[in-house]
């Protein structure tokens, strides 16, 4: 399998397809780092990176490679692997209810109206 292009998060998509085809992966932590990457150094870059990851996850969710149905019949993914990939692509959708849940107490305190009637 080659590197899969055409996605913002091609690393997730490539790993998913490899696992579906029966490849195994391990976590390798050598004593001396093989290479060093670059991390975002300010808030703007960090938010841009998180937005790119979220867009890539949504892109995979609406593609034919969605872990909810891709490779279910003949795939070699274990159920825990499938659950991990599903969690990876669903997290952007959980942000909307989370924003409402976190802002609701502040709105109630500012307006003096509560959700639960007294």
Domain limits of the chain? 10-27+42-111
Alpha-carbon span 49 to 40, nearest angstrom: 8
For the stretch 86-112, pLDDT in tens is 999 999 999 889 998 899 989 999 998
User: Cβ-count burial of 20 within 10 angstroms (0-12 exposed, 13-18 middle, 19+ buried)?
Assistant: buried
Global confidence as pTM: 0.74
> Which residue stretches of the chain have pLDDT < 70?
1-2
Alpha-carbon span 69 to 63, nearest angstrom: 10
| 8 A C-beta contact, residue 20 and residue 4 | no
DSSP class of residue 5?
A: P
* Whole-number pLDDT of residue 32: 86
* Whole-number pLDDT of residue 1: 60
* Whole-number pLDDT of residue 77: 87
């Amino acid at each position: 399998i080659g590197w899969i292009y055409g996605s913002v998060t091609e690393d997730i998509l490539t790993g998913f397809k490899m696992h579906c085809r029966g490849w195994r992966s391990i976590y390798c932590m050598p004593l001396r780092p093989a290479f060093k990457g670059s991390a975002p150094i300010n808030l703007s870059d960090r938010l841009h990176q998180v937005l790119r990851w979220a867009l890539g996850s949504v892109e995979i969710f609406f593609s034919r490679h969605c872990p909810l149905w891709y490779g279910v019949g003949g795939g070699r993914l274990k159920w825990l692997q499938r659950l991990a990939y599903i969690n990876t692509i669903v997290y952007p959708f959980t942000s909307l209810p989370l924003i409402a849940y976190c802002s609701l107490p502040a709105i109630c305190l500012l307006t003096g109206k509560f959700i639960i009637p007294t």
